[in-house]
Structure 1
Amino acid sequence: MMKRLALLPLALAAAFSAHAATTTKYLIISENQKQIGEQVVVREDDGLTKVRFIYKDNGRGPDLTEQFRLGADGTMTEYAVKGNSTFGAVVDEQFSRQGDRAQWKSTSEQGEKTISGPAAYLPLNGSFEVESIAIAALAKTPDAKLPLLPSGTLSQRELDRVEVTGAGGQKQTVRLLAQTGVGLSPSFYWATTADQPRLFGVIIPGFASMLEEGWQAAAPTLAARQKAAEQKMLTDAADKLQHPLTGLTVVRNARIFDSDKASVGQPSDIYVLRGRITAVLPAGSPVREADNTVDAAGRIVLPGLFDLHGHVDRWDGALNMAAGVTSVRDMGNDNKQLQAMLDETAAGKLLAPQVVPAGFLEGESPYSANMGFVIKDLKGAKEAIDWYAERGYPQLKIYNSFPKAILKETVAYAHSRGMRVSGHIPAGLRAQEALDAGYDEIQHINQVLLNFLVKPDTETRDLNRFVLPAEKVADLDFNSRPVKDFVAYLVKKQISIDPTLATFAFLKQRDGDMNEPYASVASHMPPDVARNFKVGTMKIDGDAQLKRYEKSYAKMVEFVGIMYKAGVPIVAGTDDIPGFTLHSELALLVKAGLTPAQALQVATRNGARYTRTSNDRGSITPGKLADIVLVDGDPTRNIEDVRKVSAVITRGYLIYPREIDAALGIAPFVGDAPQVVKTATPVAGIYGGGNNGARARIDASARKKD
């Protein structure tokens, strides 16, 4: 693999042109210093630029070939990209501009627009060289703003400058830029400081870096400076969006969802002090010297929702809070990065849910996921488990390349340290064998159903773990003895299942069709975000294959219902866009046969139960943490109403989703929010915010799906 990558520049030089003017090569290096990809940019004398962009991590990644020309204003007049996306979908996209007329076409959309002046086209799939073009074009504008095509405005500001040293001792000054206007959080790029600036590198904390070849030693310095700059932005956001509730707070006239009974009780008043519930009394009970009063006005009040399959980063928190997700189980991360986020959240410097960490444990192979601990042997596995146990991790997650020969001993050791064990099924095993080795839980519906589809030599560390279920589950007989025996075993052992149905809807999404989990939210999203909901993920050839994949996915949803009704514990996780996807997961559980109230129970009581936090979360009960979600409508009857979160109380703060929506450019899901009255002083909710956005070209789906 590495030998082939090393030969790429020679092959590219020959293929592109014998008259290439300049070549710039960037290396993509994972957090554990493994090269996982590269970007090679060839700028020819005739103005044509050609780019080869490829990276592979965790058995998948994009493979793209681009070419483009620029106009006098530095924006593209011609653009084309071909190849495959992270999960194998065909990429074929073109853009052209002649005068004031712009046209574009891809496998999922086409359009045209009349526009005057500079404007940057935003490809659905592209390399980081697109960002380099934008950096240079924005430098030419008087206000560091640039119209986007098809829509929107890209903004850029400088956050920091630092001198770095290259491999040969050469030095240069680079600057950190924050771009907003694309996506739901800022994007950060390091750029040169020349009159014609270009991209120098990209740092994705805890995952990877992409820097010009020869400058890799600068990555730690740039990462530290970037973290400090990001932290200031995040602390400012937390200060604006988290409203402290000092003293005694009473949430009056609340209809509380009882997560044990999956029902709604009579109107009640909830007393909150220092982040905990001190009492729950009948509505209208005398209030003695409360410092704050929140009038729920008969709204249904839920315990804070749990997302049991996240991979959190510093920018996820706002989306989770706006959705009423107050607890997230992190299912794999960079260990140092996660520990820092836990500290920042505890200090109130980060707008974030409470995180329950699961330690990530992987084995060495060409397919390895590069986070947590990647080990070779049992000694390494035990040392990793000790590290996690000493830091209070209640769970261990085992991944695809883990050595099957030491699985049973590893699970037993984790159990001896008081940890639950879950994960993917290591290559070469069936789910039943992982359960026999001691697993307490399985992640993802595909990992469950692969139990009936694999042989000992089936490779499940590449895209086959998606393609095989999409092709074969359609024909799986759920009434067969092997399937029934497996379900009975899950029930007997009380093995919990984390199906992430919303994430796996991509298996049956065709280019140009709206991805099912996002149909309900697309109209609320910024245009560039909604646009991506129609981009297909899998390579689907023709209607016959589409129908087969649709049938397979429908049966995956059905199987979750079969397991639940049989008595298998189900938990609700996303592994996708935070917040909104949890709501979609609950809607799919209802589609599987659960009632809306049962789906809410899964996201509250089960969430606490399978994170071992039932002592202080999962229900609105005196003595527990005051994780309280006020919802408009009645999600116990219509699960879509769970999206109508009007206010959230958690960690001693009051949070208004409308404020977060305004800051992220999202159309709100509710009208008026409940008012807060302080002693002798009425205080209304403050609805403010700006507009920011983001995109990381090493896209989040590659790290978060499966």
Structure 2
Amino acid sequence: MIRRPVLRAFSALAAALLAVPATAQQNAFVAAAGPARTEVLERGAMDPAVSPDGTQVAVSILGTIWLVPVAGGDAVQLTTGGAWDEHPAWSPDGQFLAYARNTRNGSVLMEHNLATGASRSVLEVEGGLGQIAYHPRGGELFYVLMRGQYDAHLWRAPRGGGEPRQITHAENWHEWSFALSPAADTVFMESGRYGGADLYLMALDSMRPTRLTETPARGEFSVAWSRDGRTRMWVAGQNGTDTVMAQTDGGAPRAVYASPYGQKQLSIDPAGRFAVVADGRRLHRIDLGAGTSAPIPFRAALRLPARTEGDLAIVHARVWTGVDDRVMEDATVEVRGGRIVRVHRGAPEAGLPVLDAAGKTLMPGLVDNHAHYWFPFQGERLLERGIINVRDPGAAISSSMSFKDANRLGVVLGPTIYTAGPLIDASGGYHPMVDVAIDDPAAAPALVQALKEQGVDLLKLYFLLDPDVARAVLAEAERQGLPVTGHIGVRTSLREAVEAGIEGFSHVRVWRDVLPLHMQPQGENETLDRERAPLARMQADWSAIDPEGPELGGLLRLMAARGVALDPTLVVHRLGERDRSRFSLEDFATATEGYRRMARFVRRAHESGVMLLAGTDGASLNEEMEAYVEAGVPVVDVLRAATVNGARWLGREDEFGTIQPGRRADLLLVDGDPLKNIRDARNVSAVIKEGRVVIRK
């Protein structure tokens, strides 16, 4: 099944996590005066909304709202930076656009007056805003409020202010997309539980739903309804392909457009003549009468803030280059144009801005090799911790590529993102916002090629994939030059994946390789078989696994011989004192012992020659690094796991990960010496991204 967009707005918890502490600040090197920049974009459109007169399409592009002529051409920017704007919706008279504004502190339902150019706040929400629609008479706004992957529901609120009302409520269900009937007495929507979604009609007075589809092997999403009520449309996803379906006057649904997965989003001309689909962040017009489609080319001239050239000299530093174990004392690193040009002892070249690093350690910037980048502003907190590059092993692809572009261009402050796009899973997966389902090996080549065309840097296999499908994906990934990691171990064993050519594993899921079948989680429901163990996803199964045993020894030797890396995410499996109230005495002891065994496995993996990749899956990278040291991995190798190893795994070691001439100047300056005490990596003094000081404490 192919899912709706990732949750891109903030819950209250996310906002708290992403707020940048007052001790961090952008340095003058970033804010210095310079020429304004303009980037012309011909890709990046999301959230299409066709105007009432059918002549324009409102879209979001890198967190701003634009108008694009339906015939194609130059786009007009309506909102500016400082927030992340998305999900535009037209008022019935075409005079206003509502949209979702996401900030560091939450989400706001906004309304833009097209005549005056002014925007106003309609409603602040606790959670994230999804799709928005006006009541046909214009007096109310309907919207999706998202509080998590499995909690997205339909609400309505008076346009002029007043108490909002919730329409759908079911716990662990999601209604990400909806459309109103011409009288707004019925809602056409997708609704589903943790796996896929089906189509429903629901009368708003009685709240009685009518199921329209029941398709366990696929999902329906991104619905639309023409204003005359005659035509309903949706996207059906199956085996890595999205098919746009149309149904007119209650007749048989017909396919009007199909292509490989591209996080598609639909909008229909109010008169029902055509539809616009955003497919892989490009726009296409579908003629519903002729059944043909054509691209809508556009040019969006995005105005960007000025930034410096990335020239800098760091002097008097204790430098660990990451090339070997040695440290250079009282060293100078010179940077020009964002690239390291010289590492030496002595005075820097005249004319370079100077950063005095006396008494501090300069090292390569950190890499979080397991960072799901689902929010536009989470990059500030990552940079504040010294994380300058991230490997995102699972996100809705259009959202992920937009965040990647926004960070690269300086639209928002954040690390360089290397993304896998969606999790590649079988039908019935566990992450409905960020996965694409494939059950047929023959469908693998087209899916992998489509993901590469949209710009992914790697792929990630997920645990419900059958071995034959995994092998087909891996074979095509090799042909396309894409490295592949996997969170597997339920239907496909790690050994099977290694022999098929996988390059890495996320987490330490070795169930299928060492446990008898009756003890293995089968992925039968959203609890991941919690009835078998209190933490079936995590460490409980390790209570029956010997990390020093011959089975795992053979697996680790095979991984080392094939160059397969391990991203253990140890810390997310570790329980603390606050967890005692969640478990029985026996379960807590079992889970704690399981973690100890996992840590021993990580140490053994390192000793066997398996390359470690430090990743967090949302936890703390510093804690992850410290957990490796506690497990017995030498400090210098832990630092490699959080710097150069990530670059090597991606095949980007000539770009970043070490302090050498020619590499990007992605650098971390800390108080103390992390090579002697790994906790000193927490003492961030300055963060330098591409030669620009972006965080200074």
**Is the TM-score greater than 0.5?**
yes
Q: Residue 476 of structure 1 aligns with which residue?
A: 545
Closer, same or farther: CA 318–568 of 1 in aligned 2, 3 Å? same
Percent sequence identity over aligned pairs: 25
- Amino acid of the residue matched to residue 596 of structure 1? V
Alignment counterpart, residue 553 of structure 1, candidates 595, 602, 606: 595
Q: What are the within-5 Å matches in structure 2 for residues 133-152 of structure 1?
A: none
CA distance in 1, matches of 2:417, 2:643: 15
CA distance in 1, matches of 2:5, 2:687: 41
Alignment counterpart, residue 564 of structure 1, candidates 580, 598, 606: 606
**Offset from partner CA, 1:265-322 (integer Å, 9 cap, x none):** 222111111111111120x3253222x1111123101111111111113121001110
Give the CA deviation at 1:639.
1.2
Structure with greater helix share of residues: 1
Q: Residue 503 of structure 1 aligns with which residue?
A: 572
Alignment counterpart, residue 637 of structure 1, candidates 676, 679, 685: 676
Q: What are the within-5 Å matches in structure 2 for residues 120-269 of structure 1?
A: 159-160=110-111, 171-174=138-141, 191-193=157-159, 196-198=162-164, 209=176, 214=187, 216=189, 244-246=307-309, 248-269=311-332
> Are the equivalent residues in 2 in contact too, given 1:331–1:397 (CA < 8 A)?
yes
Alignment counterpart, residue 488 of structure 1, candidates 557, 563, 570: 557
Q: Residue 129 of structure 1 aligns with which residue?
A: none
> Are the equivalent residues in 2 in contact too, given 1:308–1:328 (CA < 8 A)?
yes
> Are the equivalent residues in 1 in contact too, given 2:144–2:177 (CA < 8 A)?
no
Q: Residue 214 of structure 2 aligns with which residue?
A: none
> Are the equivalent residues in 2 in contact too, given 1:428–1:458 (CA < 8 A)?
no
**Offset from partner CA, 1:484-537 (integer Å, 9 cap, x none):** 2222222222211110111222xx346466xxxxxxxxxxxxxxxxxxxxxx7x
Classify the secondary structure of the residue corresponding to 1:250.
strand
Closer, same or farther: CA 479–308 of 1 in aligned 2, 3 Å? closer
Classify the secondary structure of the residue corresponding to 1:258.
coil
Structure 1 gaps of 5+ residues are 1-29, 37-153, 180-187, 228-234, 514-535, 658-672, 674-706
Alignment counterpart, residue 296 of structure 1, candidates 357, 372, 378: 357
Alignment counterpart, residue 464 of structure 1, candidates 529, 532, 536: 529
CA distance in 1, matches of 2:524, 2:160: 43
> Are the equivalent residues in 2 in contact too, given 1:156–1:178 (CA < 8 A)?
no
CA distance in 1, matches of 2:5, 2:407: 30
Closer, same or farther: CA 166–582 of 1 in aligned 2, 3 Å? closer
Q: Residue 71 of structure 1 aligns with which residue?
A: none
Closer, same or farther: CA 502–170 of 1 in aligned 2, 3 Å? farther
Q: Residue 692 of structure 2 aligns with which residue?
A: 653
Q: What are the within-5 Å matches in structure 2 for residues 432-471 of structure 1?
A: 432-445=495-508, 447-453=509-515, 455=517, 458-460=521-523, 462=525, 463-464=528-529, 466-467=535-536, 470-471=539-540
Closer, same or farther: CA 245–649 of 1 in aligned 2, 3 Å? farther
Closer, same or farther: CA 501–192 of 1 in aligned 2, 3 Å? farther
Classify the secondary structure of the residue corresponding to 2:350.
coil
**Offset from partner CA, 1:208-252 (integer Å, 9 cap, x none):** 73879827558978x99xx9xxxxxxx99x96xxx9443632111
Alignment counterpart, residue 479 of structure 2, candidates 416, 425, 438: 416
CA distance in 2, matches of 1:33, 1:293: 48
Classify the secondary structure of the residue corresponding to 2:176.
strand
Classify the secondary structure of the residue corresponding to 1:268.
strand
TM-score (norm 2): 0.58
Q: What are the within-5 Å matches in structure 2 for residues 21-60 of structure 1?
A: 32=3
CA distance in 2, matches of 1:244, 1:169: 45
Closer, same or farther: CA 209–644 of 1 in aligned 2, 3 Å? farther
Q: What are the within-5 Å matches in structure 2 for residues 299-314 of structure 1?
A: 299-313=360-374, 314=376
Give the CA deviation at 1:428.
2.6
- Amino acid of the residue matched to residue 539 of structure 2? A
Closer, same or farther: CA 493–337 of 1 in aligned 2, 3 Å? same
Give the CA deviation at 1:424.
1.9
Alignment counterpart, residue 324 of structure 1, candidates 382, 386, 390: 386
- Amino acid of the residue matched to residue 347 of structure 1? L
Classify the secondary structure of the residue corresponding to 1:393.
coil
Closer, same or farther: CA 280–158 of 1 in aligned 2, 3 Å? same
Note if 1:583 corresponds to 2:625.
Answer: no
Closer, same or farther: CA 548–32 of 1 in aligned 2, 3 Å? closer
TM-score (norm 1): 0.57
- Amino acid of the residue matched to residue 111 of structure 2? D
Closer, same or farther: CA 220–191 of 1 in aligned 2, 3 Å? farther
- Amino acid of the residue matched to residue 556 of structure 2? V
Classify the secondary structure of the residue corresponding to 2:542.
helix
> Are the equivalent residues in 2 in contact too, given 1:394–1:419 (CA < 8 A)?
yes
Structure 2 gaps of 5+ residues are 8-104, 114-121, 123-130, 147-153, 169-173, 180-185, 190-222, 225-264, 268-276, 282-301
Q: Residue 429 of structure 1 aligns with which residue?
A: 492
The alignment of Structure 1 onto Structure 2 pairs a total of residues equal to 454
Give the CA deviation at 1:200.
6.0
- Amino acid of the residue matched to residue 416 of structure 2? Q
**Offset from partner CA, 1:147-197 (integer Å, 9 cap, x none):** xxxxxxx99966436999979956444399999xxxxxxxx9985436532
Closer, same or farther: CA 191–295 of 1 in aligned 2, 3 Å? farther
CA distance in 2, matches of 1:286, 1:408: 53
Give the CA deviation at 1:555.
1.0
CA distance in 2, matches of 1:412, 1:159: 47
CA distance in 1, matches of 2:465, 2:537: 21
> Are the equivalent residues in 2 in contact too, given 1:373–1:384 (CA < 8 A)?
no
> Are the equivalent residues in 1 in contact too, given 2:360–2:669 (CA < 8 A)?
yes
Give the CA deviation at 1:359.
4.2
Q: Residue 383 of structure 1 aligns with which residue?
A: 446
Classify the secondary structure of the residue corresponding to 1:317.
helix
CA distance in 2, matches of 1:483, 1:155: 46
